[in-house]
Amino acid sequence: MPKFKWTDKRELFCAEYLACDLNATRAAIKAGYAEKNAVKEASRLMQFPEILQRIAELKAERIERTKIDADYVLRQAVKLHERCMQEVTPKTDRKGEQLKDEEGNAIFEFDSSGAARSLELVGKHIGVQAFKEKLDVEVGAKKSLQELLREAAQDE
């Protein structure tokens, strides 16, 4: 790797990296690198320990400045989930009277998409694998996964 030299463009790349949601290619373009070479240049820049160190410093400065860290985000996501799950909005008809289900129970509305999204954020933060789109599984055995599943089903 060539000798590292700090330039204004590299400093701007580090700042833009944070501003671009940790997208190195967009950061390179915003810092003034040619769009056609941005992927290659971003990859090259991210190999320099000095760049990685500067990005870490800028992240730490931002956390200190904003007082927003992983704990804060987790606490807020939990609060949001709890609020979204509250039965606070009664469902009413056109006359303003509360609707009831077939069993006579009052019907409430809640923000299901907000609750689901906040729960997903909390789950990702604490490492719950329930929200992974793809789960990588390594089986250190000579049997196929289907054979192992069949054996497990027979043991039940």
Please, what are the averages of pLDDT over each run of 10 residues along the chain (156 residues)? 87 94 94 96 95 94 83 80 70 88 82 75 62 52 65 71
Please, is 100 exposed, middle or buried when counting C-beta atoms within 10 Å of its C-beta (0-12, 13-18, 19+)? exposed
Q: What is the pLDDT of residue 66?
A: 83
Closest among 37, 35, 43 to 17, alpha carbons compared: 43
pTM, two decimal places: 0.55
Closest among 10, 15, 7, 16 to 41, alpha carbons compared: 10
Please, is 41 exposed, middle or buried when counting C-beta atoms within 10 Å of its C-beta (0-12, 13-18, 19+)? buried
Q: What is the pLDDT of residue 79?
A: 81
Q: What is the pLDDT of residue 117?
A: 79
Report the alpha-carbon distance of residue 127 to residue 98 in Å, rounded: 40
Q: What is the pLDDT of residue 131?
A: 47
Q: What is the pLDDT of residue 13?
A: 96
Q: What is the pLDDT of residue 33?
A: 96
Q: Please name the residues in contact with 45: beta carbons below 8 A apart, sequence gap of 6 or more.
A: 10, 13, 24, 28, 51
Say what angle helices 38-45 and 8-19 make with each other, to 10 degrees: 100
Q: What is the pLDDT of residue 82?
A: 77
Q: What is the pLDDT of residue 72?
A: 80
